[in-house]
Structure 1
Amino acid sequence: MYALKVMLLSVSLLLSSWLMAATQVRVVGLFPGAAVLNVDGQRKLVKVGQAGPGGVTVVSADSRGAVLRVDGVERSYSLSREYSDGFAEAQKKQLSVAKGIGGHYWVAGSINSQSIQFLVDTGATSVALNDEHARRLGIDYRVVGSPLQVSTASGTARGWRVKLDRVKLGELEVLGVDAVVLEGSSPTEALLGMSFLSRVGWKVEQDVLVLESKH
């Protein structure tokens, strides 16, 4: 009986040590043929067939999920989920955006539940739209906005300051976002400025823009 208790205790200690040492793996970004991995706090963009931090290998990856080989075992991972001694949702919501055409970061999102493609611009103080964007999104800026003059690269433009009910990127959503609507075709792309970015955490790692909720 004593020998059995000692054996059970040894097995219990070994199991506890294994669980404590288990690699913490999260997939925080998904792209065709690549995934952004967070392994024990170390983040890296890893292409299919390559090994990332901790020797974790990306077997396959697309917009729906990734298959990773961790400690010789292949598992399917979804975005922003964690495998350790169990399966749990990441507490903070994250979105990873790979650098795109022209070295810029492009991200699909929505304004007031209407879809739109954003160009991330950390130099813009607020979300910026042209009048065609506003009309398509159903924003009656002349009624709900306040007029102002805006300095642009081509001179001074007339605009309106408005408040957007909600701006959403993936699972990241911010309510009551300041924006500017400019007359004419400038800016040609909807700009995601600091009125949104300052209300989420953001950083650039290895040409990947990482956005994260603050709570």
Structure 2
Amino acid sequence: MAAVLALGVCLASNTAQATGVGLSGVFGSRAVIVTDDDRLHTLRVGQATADGIRLVSVGADSAVVEIGGVRRMLRLGERVVSAASEGTAQRVMIEGDSQGHFLAQGSVNGASMRFLVDTGATAVSMGAADARRAGIDFRQGRQVYSQTANGVAPIWIVKLNSVRLGGIELAGVDAAIHEGDMPVVLLGMSFLNRMQMSQEGSRLILERRY
């Protein structure tokens, strides 16, 4: 798999105050920072976003960032990014494996798929064989090229009609289709950025935000 797996990141979609920067989740030395345009940035301590927001330190439910030379403490739960819709929220719980990976059975366009949660993947990523099983004519999509361990390879950017995980189903999800086959479908940020995510012990909890 060409994508770099950034697994086990624990998310909970919240923002901070005045600056429009918030803490979406923490795990170990990583934090997921939300900017005022609702974009998510997974940072290690010492890393910075393109806008210059640098992660200084991470706590159990907080993080310190530096913005324009000023340090600010961010805490989970200060302000919700997107309110849940009325009624019972759609929620899925995934048990982590012995390596901390979160694998779950779901479907794409009604075809059964094995998902691997991957916050390092920009979009849902899948191999050509899985795309065909889902009835995707991916060669009609937009072709781009990606650097892989085996050199430059073509991928096709498409919209998925349906991505389902447990009781959560999203429509119009961006996906990257790889020419070769992949052992699992990477459940990337085009799906995950519409979730509120948190971790309880070895379990990852996804709750639909919108």
Q: TM-score, normalised by structure 1?
A: 0.55
- Tell me, in whole angstroms, the C-alpha distance in 2 between the residues paired with 1:132 and 1:93: 30
Question: What SS does the corresponding residue of 1:188 show, helix, strand or coil?
Answer: coil
Question: What SS does the corresponding residue of 1:92 show, helix, strand or coil?
Answer: coil
Partner residue of 2:145 out of 146, 149, 158: 149
Higher mean C-alpha deviation, range 149-158 or range 118-127: 149-158
Query: What's the CA shift for 1:194?
Result: 0.4
In the other structure, the counterpart of 1:160 is: 156
Query: What's the CA shift for 1:119?
Result: 0.8
- Tell me, in whole angstroms, the C-alpha distance in 1 between the residues paired with 2:148 and 2:118: 14
Task: Give the letter aligned to residue 155 of structure 1.
Answer: G
Partner residue of 1:129 out of 126, 130, 133: 126
Gaps in structure 1 of 5+ consecutive residues: 1-89
Task: Give the letter aligned to residue 97 of structure 2.
Answer: G
In the other structure, the counterpart of 1:196 is: 191
In the other structure, the counterpart of 1:178 is: 174
Question: What SS does the corresponding residue of 2:154 show, helix, strand or coil?
Answer: strand
Query: What's the CA shift for 1:163?
Result: 0.3
Greater helix share, structure number: 1
Structure with max Cα Rg: 1
- Tell me, in whole angstroms, the C-alpha distance in 1 between the residues paired with 2:99 and 2:120: 16
Q: What whole-Å deviation, never above 9, does each CA across 1:117-149 have from its counterpart, x for those lacking one?
A: 101111100000111111111111012x11010
Q: What whole-Å deviation, never above 9, does each CA across 1:146-168 have from its counterpart, x for those lacking one?
A: 10101224332111000001111
- Tell me, in whole angstroms, the C-alpha distance in 1 between the residues paired with 2:176 and 2:169: 19
* CA root-mean-square deviation: 1.8
C-alpha spacing 1:200/1:123, structure 2 compared with 1 (3 Å): same
Task: Give the letter aligned to residue 157 of structure 2.
Answer: R
- Tell me, in whole angstroms, the C-alpha distance in 2 between the residues paired with 1:197 and 1:127: 9
In the other structure, the counterpart of 2:110 is: 113
Q: TM-score, normalised by structure 2?
A: 0.56
Query: What's the CA shift for 1:101?
Result: 5.0
Task: Give the letter aligned to residue 185 of structure 2.
Answer: A
Kept in 1, the 8 Å contact 2:198–2:204? The answer is: yes
Q: What whole-Å deviation, never above 9, does each CA across 1:168-202 have from its counterpart, x for those lacking one?
A: 111111110000001112x3311000000001111
- Tell me, in whole angstroms, the C-alpha distance in 2 between the residues paired with 1:127 and 1:214: 18
Kept in 1, the 8 Å contact 2:113–2:184? The answer is: no
Question: What SS does the corresponding residue of 1:181 show, helix, strand or coil?
Answer: strand
Task: Give the letter aligned to residue 214 of structure 1.
Answer: R
Question: What SS does the corresponding residue of 1:95 show, helix, strand or coil?
Answer: strand
Gaps in structure 2 of 5+ consecutive residues: 1-86
- Tell me, in whole angstroms, the C-alpha distance in 2 between the residues paired with 1:114 and 1:172: 15
Percent identity reads 43
Greater relative contact order, per chain length (Cα 8 Å cut-off, separation 6+): 2
